Structure 1
């Protein structure tokens, strides 16, 4: 008897092909982050041990200070541009050219603002001023990340991974050489700048070799620029607020407790934030499919958001629970006895990951619903709360107080605020359901 063979229809084949593409893209991004996590953590710890708490504190203070100005050279464009490229890939030369121009202008402005601010705040700290100035110049060369946005929109992040890891591995080798040759602190800032420059060149070369289009065919369009900025404008301020969450604690610790305290706190935060690549990697691969689902089916759109939230919530809990009890030993093994006080800080700060993962998971929803202004309001409120709590807790509790401030402010902005806003009630319910092992349809 002949057996009937079921032939999948075209939509099934297309769906399977899209799934394979997403999984492949996610695999490349995870490989990238795993490489950075492994090599970067090893060399980063070596650098921390080599520099000691004081100079390591200065380095991280400088990195945190420069990062606060990141929204000026990114202009909040990334998610908005990816969505436009998904919908209007035939118009990519105009979108990419305009985005590159905006990011280049933003990079130049950010350098001027960073240098002016550090000169005003740290008048007598010449080493800090030079270090921050060198790190600030990276903003100009990050305009080449426009190419990365195209790769993300096409779910082809492997090309960005290859380009950026060429630069990253070179920087790792140079940092090892600097440690062995007993180089000064300022040399490590130059390596950071060099990595960004080489990565930008590698992105351009790979984009050209793959023949996606000629870079010189990119074109600027003023009306496109205005349109993109109108959408991204709330995200610029949201980006500031997010970075206040992530970095203001180190800056306030430096101002209120000194560079040594920043060094100890930075060691704990380095381990705690080590895992943040997980949500960003997963969401960068899944966001295009969420935007596409929004156009076709509301049911599948919310189903994908729910699945994403549940996945990231569970991953964050799997990290936070064991790290709470093992933090003292992890710090001792990695950083040595000089950083012993980072253990209690890590045990507290690690719980911020639960709300960070949630916040990243919900970001495509705010973009797809065109509620960036709502996201901005929640994030700004959380950022202000973070500053206030840092001001109240750091004098008495130091790094532990800064960690508590981070958790509370992240929880309010990414989770609890959605319960009191009728526009985000549905999202809050999905967040609640993400703690359950099943979807309560």
Structure 2
């Protein structure tokens, strides 16, 4: 399958990740109170550490490893089972440790902790890395979209009062489990059962640990925020922060989804020593993610004061301030995803990925410790921005030794100029005294038209490509 088709399937998944929460979140934030939502978010942040132990960086390592060997069916078959049995072993250990942890803690909501165990058990059956490695994104995307739709229906049927946050956690965890299990239906098309050697499993274990270390660091400044807010502040502040992160990362997924598609592609090109194509793809992708990130970041900053009260309700008004503060991570994470995941991982530069995210984790943890007690969720947002910026900066400094940065970044200044000009105009629109919904519609459509126009004036290559694709799509629909 082509990169374009895979990106379409993955983008459809990311769009569903945006549209479905747009349906469920306004309902959830009005039926459940901030404390209930915060309990689910906090317990989920705890189980994520055990999921990290169970996966040992398998999502990235498995994706890359399968991509390297996918042209040899015999090796592919053996490699899959080696990776599966490795993860089965680490998952069983993690499950036992988690059950012991929950059994020994003193908590008023142990039932939610036990429900989160379903997410950990789901790791055993997660073979999405295999289908990503062979670049078959259709199956993983359709599976995920179907499960999300079913989960949405269950939320509206079951959740009716504040105490139903327990069912909210159960629906989410069960959907994750069923989604992972479904992929096994398609596996016999590619793989047959085969014995594997203990030596090969140990070989993969050593290699996954190299990616496990940066995954720990990434977890510290992506999940530890919520854990620390829960400890140093309260569950309601966890809910505010969690909702802001969800909205920002829903839109961010539209940009970073290209990274999931490009990882196996770049890995395969590296195995073929095709440096010309690697540079070609790198330049195109970086231009696109910068182009898209600047526009999305701009729209988040402009629309949030009007959007948050409508979408989340008055009880979650603080989410507006958090999102406006944290929105620059859309650009920083897009860039770090490109340099770290799309380039460093395929090039087997894990030690430098580890260095960059470790610096980010240390900075994030340190700033959280001082800022959360005083500024609560706002303090966590400030810490995250600084950490993400440093991660990106370190990766740029390192990767320039391996690839010509000036060739990749050529022309991205046009996107920043366009963004600044659009912001200056839209800022005046925000002052207009008109209905909230009308204002959001005007801001989004005017922002899009202005951004495309300024990009056209500046002769942006990626803008020309996007516009031509949009025109082609409209012509097809018309016919």
Which residue in 2 is equivalent to 1:99?
83
Q: 1:52 to 1:168 in 2, by over 3 A?
A: same
Which residue in 1 is equivalent to 2:53?
72
Give CA deviations for 1:246-292 in whole Å, capped at 9, x if unaligned.
Answer: 11111111111111111122222221111232244212222222223
Q: Give me the whole-angstrom Cα distance separating, in 2, the residues matched to 1:41 and 1:84.
A: 36
Which residue in 2 is equivalent to 1:176?
156
Q: Give me the whole-angstrom Cα distance separating, in 2, the residues matched to 1:114 and 1:433.
A: 48
**Is 1:372 the equivalent of 2:353?**
no
Give CA deviations for 1:385-435 in whole Å, capped at 9, x if unaligned.
Answer: 10001111112222221111001001111224542x487574765675473
1:284-363 equivalences in 2 (<5 Å): 284-294=260-270, 295-362=272-339, 363=341
**What are the ranges of 5 or more consecutive residues in structure 2 without an aligned counterpart?**
415-459, 462-479
Alignment match of 2:180 (pick from 200, 206, 225)? 200
Q: Give me the whole-angstrom Cα distance separating, in 1, the residues matched to 2:59 and 2:399.
A: 27
1:39-438 equivalences in 2 (<5 Å): 39-89=20-70, 90=73, 91-117=75-101, 123-127=105-109, 129-146=110-127, 148-180=128-160, 184-208=164-188, 211-214=189-192, 217-294=193-270, 295-362=272-339, 363-416=341-394, 418-419=396-397, 421=398, 424=401, 426=403, 433=410, 435-437=412-414
Q: Give me the whole-angstrom Cα distance separating, in 1, the residues matched to 2:194 and 2:108.
A: 41
Could you tell which deviates more after superposition, 225-234 or 173-182?
173-182
Contact 1:30 1:281 in 2 (8 A): yes
Could you tell which deviates more after superposition, 287-296 or 391-400?
287-296
Q: Give how far 1:242 is off.
A: 1.1
Q: Give me the whole-angstrom Cα distance separating, in 1, the residues matched to 2:375 and 2:406.
A: 35
Contact 1:94 1:221 in 2 (8 A): no
1:5-44 equivalences in 2 (<5 Å): 21-44=2-25
Q: Give how far 1:117 is off.
A: 4.3
Contact 2:37 2:239 in 1 (8 A): yes
Q: Give how far 1:126 is off.
A: 2.7
Q: Give me the whole-angstrom Cα distance separating, in 2, the residues matched to 1:145 and 1:343.
A: 35
Contact 2:241 2:377 in 1 (8 A): yes
Q: Give me the whole-angstrom Cα distance separating, in 2, the residues matched to 1:107 and 1:239.
A: 16
**Alpha carbon RMSD of aligned pairs, Å?**
2.4
Contact 1:279 1:360 in 2 (8 A): no
Q: 1:81 to 1:425 in 2, by over 3 A?
A: closer
TM-score when normalising by structure 2: 0.79
Contact 2:118 2:174 in 1 (8 A): no
Q: 1:279 to 1:326 in 2, by over 3 A?
A: closer
Q: Give how far 1:118 is off.
A: 5.1
Classify the secondary structure of the residue corresponding to 2:126. Answer: helix
Contact 2:50 2:94 in 1 (8 A): yes
Q: 1:436 to 1:404 in 2, by over 3 A?
A: same
Contact 1:50 1:179 in 2 (8 A): yes
Q: Give me the whole-angstrom Cα distance separating, in 1, the residues matched to 2:404 and 2:15.
A: 31
Classify the secondary structure of the residue corresponding to 1:125. Answer: coil
Give CA deviations for 1:56-101 in whole Å, capped at 9, x if unaligned.
Answer: 1111111222223332122112232233323323212211112111
Which residue in 1 is equivalent to 2:420?
none
Q: Give me the whole-angstrom Cα distance separating, in 1, the residues matched to 2:404 and 2:168.
A: 43
Runs of 4+ in 1 over 6 A off after TM superposition: none
Q: Give me the whole-angstrom Cα distance separating, in 2, the residues matched to 1:171 and 1:406.
A: 30
Q: Give me the whole-angstrom Cα distance separating, in 2, the residues matched to 1:133 and 1:380.
A: 31
Contact 2:36 2:163 in 1 (8 A): no
